[in-house]
Structure 1
Amino acid sequence: MRKIKTAVLAAIVGAVAAPAFAVNVNWTDWQSGSTGAGILAEGVMTVDGTNIDVEYSNSAGSIFGLQTSGGTDYWQNGRSGRNAATSGYTSTGTNGNDNIPTGVDIIQAGAQATHTFRFLTEVQDIYLSFVSINRNSLTFDTPFELLSITGGNLDGNGTDSNGYWGNGGATLTSTPSTYSLTASGETHGTLFIAGAFTELSFTTSVSENWHGFTVGAASTPSEVPLPAAGLMLMAGLGAVAGLRRTRR
């Protein structure tokens, strides 16, 4: 009887405590490019049923290109299609994301610049995926977590596939006021920035032919809700009480 009770308690604790969720990122649907008011790209992010307008600009005042539909899928695994399980843009863990950026939507920038995304409605927790940061640095004024890079295994879930232009490493450094990712080679990947934002900015350290970006925000994670977890705990404790009565 003691073994049965131990097994029941272990199942209860596992069900309540296990971080069993997969964050689905709502990636921006880039829709148009514009030169008005310095806005270089405009799109919409739909988070929990709410459409949020997103604007992109940079201090150089230009972009290499903008894909809204059609064109090459630079978010695929190498050049062999998509597989979320081995993608360099997905990851497991507390803040991990389980979906690759949507479609072929990508902003292609080339100049050394300050890049700014504006969200016309405040969003919570940002995911930024990037393509081909070739020996370049991304520097933020807020901390971030590097979730995945192509050809790497940052989450311990197995080596991720190459990116469209190959792969490379990444070194993270910080000062009291800046947080940087410096790439070695053709680094592609996804990073996570916690917090509430109406604007997110970062700088690139050098100019190159082009590097690509897109942004998204997470929906409510598909965790077991606290009320449900509480009911599971109560039900489990009831089962243990029943076992005690049976033993008596």
Structure 2
Amino acid sequence: MKSKPLSRTLLTSAALLTLGAAPVHAATINWTDWTSVSAAASQVFGILTVGSSTVNVTYSGAYNTVQTSGGTNYWNPDAPYLSTTVENAPPASDIITLGQGGSKTITFSQAVVDPLIALVSWNGNTVDFGVPIEILSYGTGYWGYGTPILNNSGTGFYGNGEVHGVIKLPGTFTSITFNDTSEWWHGFTVGVIGLGSSNGVPEPASLALLGMGLAGLAGLRRRKA
């Protein structure tokens, strides 16, 4: 029987040690600050501030209304938006509301990891993102309660009642396109936990955790010698 290369064994063991040692905590989400609209082009513009980086966000498609500064806070109460992944609901009142079905696209000026979409009042809507999604949370929100029912392909859902909650699109994206039906008023905003890497190299925090795992293995080997 062939033995595994030592380097691969060490890396695998280090990863297991790292995962075992790291508790699961909800992350602080960076939600989009919607700043302006272009009615003629059916576009809404915003920014995501992630650490020291600024990501430009553009929504393209039909919309009903947009709140960029002030107005009703439809993200209150915040309970439907919180989970073991999401520590904070969307702030203030920024929101894009939709009133016409069809294709919509959200574009980021640089790659983002695991983008999140917070939902308000997706009542009776059928939506499909074309890629797998995860439903992170839902509950009683500004307009009441509803349940998102995942479709058979796992790429979208049907809103059974007044759905308020958060979905995640696992992976790295520079744009998101979805198709929804035409229930008159339903709203959303976009958030991220972090940014994507253009070269696939782990972020410094990940490298540090891997180093800690390897150091721990080295210590165990010395004690056994």
TM over 0.5: yes
> What is the rounded CA distance, in whole Å, between the counterparts of 2:115 and 2:86 in structure 1?
11
Q: Does the C-alpha gap of structure 1 residues 164 and 228 become closer, same or farther in structure 2, counting only changes over 3 Å? A: same
- Residue in 2 aligned with 1:144? 133
**Matched residues in 2 for 1:35 and 1:14: separation?**
49
Which amino acid is 1:73 matched to?
A: N
What does residue 203 of structure 1 align with?
A: 179
Using a 3 Å threshold, how does the CA distance of structure 1 residues 50 and 14 change in structure 2: closer, same or farther? Answer: closer
AA aligned to 1:90 is L
Deviation at 1:90, TM superposition (A): 1.4
What one-letter code is carried by the residue in structure 2 that aligns with 1:89? Y
Residue number in structure 1 paired with 2:142: 164
* TM-score normalised by the chain length of structure 2: 0.77
> Per-residue displacement from partner, 1:228-247 (whole Å, max 9, x unpaired)?
575478569869x88x9xxx
Indicate the SS of the match to 1:91: coil
Looking at structure 2, the residues matched to 214 and 130 of structure 1 have their Cα atoms a distance apart, in angstroms, of: 7
RMSD: 2.9
Aligned to 1:186: 162
Residue in 1 aligned with 2:192?
217
Query: Residue 21 in 1 paired to residue 13 in 2?
Result: no
1-structure distance, mates of 2:103, 2:213: 49
Residue 227 of structure 1: aligned partner: 208
Q: Does 1:115 align with 2:104?
A: yes
Which residue type is aligned with residue 163 of structure 2? T
Report the equivalent of 2:68: 68
Q: Is the 8 A contact 1:23 1:219 kept in 2?
A: no
Residue 86 of structure 2 aligns to which amino acid in structure 1? N
The one-letter amino acid paired with 1:64 is: N
Per the TM alignment, residue 123 of structure 1 is displaced from its structure 2 partner at its CA by: 1.8
**Alignment correspondent of 2:83:** 91
1:34 to 1:165, Cα distance in 2 relative to 1, 3 A: same
Separation of aligned partners in 2, 1:24 and 1:75: 16
Is the contact between residue 114 and residue 170 of structure 2 (CA under 8 Å) also seen in structure 1? yes
1:101 aligns with 2:90: yes
Sequence identity of aligned pairs in percent?
A: 37
The letter of the residue matching 2:59 is: Y
In 2, the alpha carbon distance for the partners of 1:237 and 1:76 equals 50
- Aligned-residue offset at 1:69: 1.7
Amino acid at match of 2:133: F
Counterparts in 2 of 1:229 and 1:21: CA distance versus 1, 3 Å: farther
Unmatched 5+ residue regions in structure 1? 1-12, 151-161
Measured in 1, the distance between the counterparts of 2:21 and 2:75 equals 34
* Partner SS, residue 113 of structure 2: strand
The separation in 2 between residues aligned to 1:102 and 1:73, in whole angstroms, is 8
Q: What CA distance in whole angstroms lies between the structure 1 residues aligned with 2:24 and 2:37?
A: 39
After TM superposition, the structure 1 stretch with the greater mean CA deviation from structure 2, 43-52 or 128-137, is: 43-52
Structure 2 distance, partners of 1:102, 1:181, is: 25
Structure 2 residue 134 is matched with structure 1 residue 131: no
Residue by residue, what CA displacement relative to the aligned partner does 1:54-95 show, whole Å, maximum 9, x if unpaired? 11121xx4x221111211111111xxxx5xxxx111111xxx
Deviation at 1:48, TM superposition (A): 2.9
